[in-house]
């Protein structure tokens, strides 16, 4: 039987260790690559956070996400185009750019042409999609959807707006009876203020 001296044993040990490390590193590299791809995909998904609802005479009505504010034409195309062989009445530059939470409804204007109506999504759908409601334009029914508000508090917010004018900062609603600092912090993620030059954006 052939014997090995210490140097030969050390070399054999190192060779064996390198072989084992090679097998271990390979699956680890695959896992790392998978995690990097997954993170990249998740980051890509997070970018598409502009939700637009397309309804009416669109071929595929529904809510679609975009990575930036889309034009009306882009939203209609995402919804499969216009049904019934109709064409859009105008493709002029005056057609507005849609904003997060908008609802575009395609309607029939005449036998050959379609028009569009732009409004806000239903409040419940907006909140479910994480889209804040404009505290100045929302009526009492929309405000009622906000967590911890309810019909009576919604009516008090409407009355406050009528008496004191548009709300300029979230802290203004602390003056509404029934809203304290704790409830304000609860509401902040769900409200926005669009009617002033400096828009409040939730944290």
* Per-residue model confidence (pLDDT) at position 6: 54
* Per-residue model confidence (pLDDT) at position 28: 36
* Per-residue model confidence (pLDDT) at position 13: 55
- Taking only the tens place, the pLDDT of each residue in 76-128 is 999 999 998 888 876 555 678 999 999 999 999 888 889 899 999 999 999 99
Mean pLDDT of 48-62: 93
Phi, psi of 107, rounded to the nearest 5 degrees: -125, 155
* Per-residue model confidence (pLDDT) at position 41: 47
Query: Which one has a higher pLDDT value, 43 or 107?
Result: 107
How large a percentage of the chain has pLDDT more than 90? 55
pLDDT bucket at 15, cuts 50 / 70 / 90 = low
Greatest mean pLDDT range, 1-15, 87-101, 177-191: 177-191
Nearest partner of 192 among 130, 150, 107, 104, judged by Cα: 130
**pLDDT averaged over the chain?**
78
Mean pLDDT of 52-67: 96
Helices then strands, counting H and E runs in the chain, come out as: 6, 7
- Taking only the tens place, the pLDDT of each residue in 152-183 is 999 999 999 999 999 999 899 999 999 999 99
Mean pLDDT of 45-53: 77
Q: Are 52 and 67 in contact (CB under 8 A)?
A: no
According to DSSP, the residues that pair with 88 across neighbouring strands are 114
């Amino acid at each position: 039987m052939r014997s090995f001296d210490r140097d030969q044993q050390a070399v054999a040990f190192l060779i064996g260790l390198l072989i084992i490390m090679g097998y271990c590193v390979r699956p680890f590299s695959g896992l790392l690559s998978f995690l990097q791809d997954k993170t990249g995909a998740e980051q890509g998904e997070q970018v598409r956070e502009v939700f637009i609802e397309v309804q009416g005479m669109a071929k595929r009505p529904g809510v679609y996400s975009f990575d930036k504010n889309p034009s009306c034409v882009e939203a209609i195309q995402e919804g499969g185009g216009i049904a019934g062989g109709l064409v859009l009445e105008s493709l002029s530059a005056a057609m507005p750019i849609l904003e997060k939470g908008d609802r575009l409804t395609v309607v029939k204007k005449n036998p050959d042409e379609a028009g569009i109506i732009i409004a806000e999504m239903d409040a419940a759908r907006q909140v479910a999609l994480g889209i804040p409601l404009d505290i100045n334009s929302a009526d009492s029914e929309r405000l009622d959807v906000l967590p911890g508000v309810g019909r009576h508090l919604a009516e008090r917010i409407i009355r406050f707006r009528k008496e004191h004018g548009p709300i300029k900062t979230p802290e203004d609603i602390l003056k509404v009876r029934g809203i304290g600092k704790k409830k304000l912090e609860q509401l902040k993620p769900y409200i926005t203020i669009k009617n002033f030059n400096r828009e409040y954006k939730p944290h």
